[in-house]
A = this chain, B = another copy of it.
Amino acid sequence: MTDHDKDLAADTLDLLRKVSVATLCTQLFKRGLRNVFIQGIGRLTDPAAGNMVGPAYTMRNIPAREDLDQISAFDDYDHPQRKGIESVPPGHVLVLDCRGETRVASGGQILTTRLKVRGAAGLVSDGPVRDSGAISQMDFPVYCAGGSAPLNLIHHHAIDLNVPIGCGGVAVYPGDIMVGDDEGVAVIPRHLADEVARDAAEQEKMEAFILERIEGGAMLRNNYPPNAETRAAFAQWRKQRGI
């Protein structure tokens, strides 16, 4: 369906660390993809490293059932939720399909700490987390639907690891590149990551130049989007800055 092992260009992840999710959405829109931004969630933490970037590793939840989803479910250390945390490859982002359920948490501080210690690149859930106050202080990218104290077992049953899922209304295939900034998270289909990263970096240089002009009093006309003259001025500007 989608090639989740496709090699990425050497600089793709680095480029993605420096561009905004808004720019990525524009690049994906230019390629006909309109539904790539995970809806209904925000960034809970303020990680030092800037953008969250990494391939998706997924976990799927279905609705809980009272006879199966008792507290004793966790006595099994191979419970998919626990196993998921322990199997995310370093550098990957754990993405949870919580069906947009906001009434209960998808996980809490201990699991998030374990994720971080294991070297995961971040956590994305379309549900809330619990212990959200403590988690908000962690130097680790966490994107979720805020905080909620009730535990996951009340409405979730973790069932599958690393299958294609929906998260916040967006398709996430294992290996897709997840990028998060302070505004939210975009899902880049893996086969597009190289070209999108490259074009996004170019677009942002151009927009930095345009923003300077607008701040200096220029009109939108001829500048945004740039006409031939503005493009020429931009080329000059780049040359001067060596970028």
A106: B residues at CB distance < 8 A? none
Contact of A66 among B30, B33, B157 (CB under 8 A): B33
Give min CB distance, A95 to chain B, whole Å: 12
Q: CA separation between A37 and B151, bound complex, in Å?
A: 10
- Copies per assembly: 6
List the B side residues contacting A154 at CB < 8 Å.
Answer: 29, 34
Residues B110 and A210 in contact, CB atoms below 8 Å apart: yes
B25 and A149 contacting across the interface, CB-CB below 8 Å: yes
Number of interface residues of A (CB under 8 A): 84
A-B contacts, 27 of them at CB < 8 A, read A1-B159, A22-B151, A26-B151, A29-B71, A30-B71, A32-B66, A35-B63, A35-B64, A37-B148, A42-B146, A42-B147, A62-B171, A63-B169, A82-B220, A86-B219, A109-B211, A110-B214, A114-B214, A130-B183, A132-B182, A133-B182, A147-B182, A147-B183, A147-B184, A148-B183, A149-B184, A157-B171
Give residues in A with beta carbon < 8 Å to B. 1-2, 20-22, 24-26, 29-37, 39, 42, 62-68, 71, 74-75, 77, 82, 85-86, 99, 102-103, 105, 108-111, 113-114, 117, 130-133, 146-151, 153-154, 157, 159-160, 163-166, 169-171, 181-184, 186, 189, 207, 210-211, 214-215, 217, 219-222, 224-225
